[in-house]
Amino acid sequence: MKRIEAVNDFVIKFANVNGTGSASANNMFAKSLFRMGLPISPKNIFPSNIQGLPTWYEVRVNEKGYLGRRGGVDMMVCMNPQSMAKDIQEVESGGYFFYDSSKPLDLRMMRSDIHFIGVPLKDLCQREYSDARQQQLFRNIIYVGALSALLDIEFEVLTGLVSDQFRGKEKLITPNVRALEIGYHYAAEHYQCPLGIRVERRDAVGDQILIDGNTAASLGAIYGGATVAAWYPITPSTSVVDGFDKYCKRLRIDPGSGSKNYAIVQAEDELAAIGMVIGASWNGARAFTATSGPGISLMSEFLGLAYFAEIPTVLIDVQRAGPSTGMPTRTQQSDVLACAYASHGDTKHVLLFPSTPRECFEMTAEAFDLAESLQTPVIMLTDLDLGMNDTMSPPLVWDDKREYQRGKVFNEEQLEAMSERFGRYLDVDGDGIPYRTYPGTHPTKGAFFTRGTSRDEYAVYTEDGDAYEKNMQRLLKKWDTAKNLVPMPEIIDASKGGGKVGVIHFGTSREATLEAVDTLAAEGIAIDTLRIKGFPFHKSVDAFIEQHDTVFVVDQNRDAQMRTLLVNECLVSPRDLISILNYNGTPISARKIREEIIAVLRGDNVRPIHKKKMAKESV
């Protein structure tokens, strides 16, 4: 029988039951590879309940540094009888299926083209541990030990991870190390180790860290000067504010008095949360909220108020699969249009699209500068994949000398020197952005009504059509100003100016897109790429579309929302943009992107993506 042969280039997937303690064991496995200097990309695919349903943890190892989902599974570690039939079918031909052989495998599930590796985990646990809970927990550690032998993971790295996790708690260290040894020795005695897929130590990680996007965003909020967070808990954004609270306790404490220099309010609902953010921002604080799709729906009316009253407002949207409750623990990019045009009437909101934890950190900080410079809501759209999965990242760079861009704010001296009437909504500089004041800046000057109703340049209520139209046109002028303030697109000119094919992508589609394009380049197909990092779109987006005959747009949603936004805002024909869609709740794969591009460019003559990973005969 053939078997997959690969060193430092494979996908292993764990199939577990939610609530059985498998998360810490699987995390230990992933970190052991990272400590061996190997780039990894773990993806947690979990249900929306606490215990009992299937959960998966997919780890990609790739020493070249490709961190997106590849597509396909080379080795399945199945600890869940409920999902076993499906899990067996997911393994690539020539791959490996690891299971608990304490109970015989159903012969109807067998495949003749994959290798079955049985380890009697339950029996081994019962011999070693008398407590039922210990048997369940250490069963997970035993299979990690077995994988150490099968994949040639340095055993000392695993024991080092155990020691670090339970530092100073010898009573916990000893049984965990013992469980690793049980699994290691069983696999080494019963199977030819290592398997065809294995790892070797490399120095391909450098000083990079593992961090999730939500944690990075919470640090970015502090770095950006935020002192107020108002929120209502919702998956998968909750850990943004949890992280903000955690790090504020270290970074937002007055060194003299020890008092808190921040406020975190868990509101009664999403409407109250965004209302508090708007109020705090109006008063001069840097405030934000974090939510997901259902929260965006509820906050839309208040976002319209912030847009029309021109109040800086920062919102972090960690997207999940909708609509309605949808799939709360699955990833999508399906809030693009809801955020771009949130609220009734003519509104447009500034959007930021990070692709990495470092960009979550940087763009969150930048969101506060943009919101205050433009006096408008700024929404950063991440997703569950980026927000909740550990991702390799360069260290986050913190500059204590960073200055905040507070925008056009009159201080007391400027108001005192002003002889003319203060016009809150006057376009003084011709860029559409008026000047504002903080409440109480001057005892008699700079006051104005903040209202969501139509008003003139002096914030006086009016229903005069000309005044309303003038105000709306000024808001459009401000929108044009924003085009040069949001992050520029990232363009890779792979064809050196002569390409006819381009791919537009954004957010977490980045890694899979770039890998697919690299694979096609090796096959002689040069494709240029443009990554959208902000909305409104920079003029270079229009130019990119104009320069290419065929342009693909990668969207992780059903309705091609980014493509729709491009058609609306860039005034291009829908026929000029070809969608590549993924909306099953798991991150898009490089394989899918490559196959869909090939299907258009060459018909359906699709070649396999793995050129170097050849299935070889077992010896």
- Lowest model confidence (mean pLDDT) among 43-57, 206-220, 364-378, 539-553: 43-57
Strands 228-231 and 263-266: parallel
**By the 8 A CB rule, do 180 and 142 touch?**
yes
Q: Is the pLDDT of residue 611 over 70?
A: no
Residue 389 tokens, joined: 């999965």
Q: List all residues 6 or more positions away from 448 whose beta carbon is below 8 Å from its beta carbon.
A: 422, 424, 437, 458, 459
> Could you give the CA distance from residue 443 to residue 415 in angstroms, rounded to a whole number?
10
**Residue for token pair 């070249």:** 64
Separation between Cα atoms, residue 156 and residue 416, nearest integer Å: 70
Give the mean model confidence (pLDDT) for residues 560-589. 96
What pLDDT is recorded for position 599?
96
Tokens 């869940």, residue? 80
Contact residues for 338 (Cβ-Cβ < 8 A; gap 6+): 293, 296, 297, 300
Q: Which two tokens stand for residue 118?
A: 């049985």
Judged against a pLDDT cut of 70, whether residue 618 lies above it is answered with no
Task: Report the distance separating Cα 133 and Cα 139, nearest Å.
Answer: 10
CA-nearest of 330, 25, 333, 325 to 183 is 25
| Superfamily for the 210-393 domain | Thiamin diphosphate (ThDP)-binding fold, Pyr/PP domains (3.40.50.970)
pLDDT for res 1: 86
Tally Cβ neighbours within 10 Å of residue 417.
Answer: 9
Could you name the CATH architecture of 2-198?
3-Layer(aba) Sandwich (3.40)
Ranges of each domain in the chain: 2-198, 210-393, 490-602
Q: Which residues contact 108 (CB under 8 A, 6 or more apart)?
A: none
**Residue 343: what residue type?**
S
pLDDT band at 132 (very low <50, low <70, confident <90, very high): confident
What architecture is the 490-602 domain classified under in CATH? 3-Layer(aba) Sandwich (3.40)
Who contacts 146 (Cβ-Cβ below 8 Å, separation ≥6)?
A: 98, 119, 183, 184, 186, 187
At 532, phi and psi to the nearest 5? -75, 125
Residues 15, 84: Cα–Cα separation, whole Å? 8
Largest CA distance in the chain: 91
Residue 608 has pLDDT above 90, yes or no: no
User: What per-residue confidence (pLDDT) applies to 230?
Assistant: 99
Q: Indicate the pairing of strand 6-7 with strand 501-506.
A: unpaired
pLDDT at residue 135 in the model = 85
pLDDT-based confidence at 610, cuts 50/70/90? Answer: very low
Return the closest-CA partner of residue 339 out of 352, 355, 328, 327.
352
**Cβ-contact 616, 367 below 8 angstroms:** no
Q: Is residue 171 pLDDT above 90, yes or no?
A: no
Q: What DSSP state is assigned to residue 538? A: P
pLDDT at residue 318, rounded to an integer: 99
Using one digit for the tens of pLDDT, what is the confidence trace for 257-282? Answer: 999 999 999 999 999 999 999 999 99
Q: Is the pLDDT of residue 136 over 90?
A: no
Distance CA 474, CA 571 (A): 21
Closest C-alpha to 369, from 409, 410, 405: 405
Element (H, E) at 57: strand 54-62
Find where tokens 């997937």 sit.
13
Q: How far is CA 277 from CA 141, 245, 321, 562, 615, in A?
A: 45, 16, 25, 28, 57
Q: In this structure, are residues 227 and 221 in contact, taking their beta carbons and an 8 Å threshold?
A: no
Which residues in 225-346 belong to E strands, given as ranges?
Answer: 228-231, 263-266, 287-291, 313-319
Long-range contacts at 24-28 (CB < 8 A, ≥ 24 apart): 24/140, 24/165, 25/140, 25/141, 25/143, 25/144, 26/57, 26/59, 26/140, 26/144, 27/390, 28/141, 28/144, 28/158, 28/161, 28/162, 28/165
Is residue 241 predicted with pLDDT exceeding 50? yes
pLDDT, averaged across the chain:
95
| pLDDT score at 170 | 87
SS (H, E, C) 22-34: HHHHHHHHHHHHH
Report pLDDT digits (tens) over 81-131.
999 999 999 999 999 999 999 999 988 899 999 999 999 999 999 999 888
210-393 and 490-602 agree in CATH topology: yes
Q: Is the pLDDT of residue 16 over 70?
A: yes
pLDDT band with cut points at 50, 70 and 90 for residue 603: low
Closest CA to 544 of 554, 556, 531: 531
C-alpha count within 13 angstroms, C-beta hemisphere, residue 69: 23
* Statement: residue 373 has pLDDT above 90: yes
Q: Which two tokens stand for residue 164?
A: 């670090």
Work out the average pLDDT over 574-584. 96
Least confident stretch, 56-70, 85-99, 158-172, 190-204: 158-172
Compute the distance between CA of residue 566 and CA of residue 589 in angstroms, rounded to an integer.
23
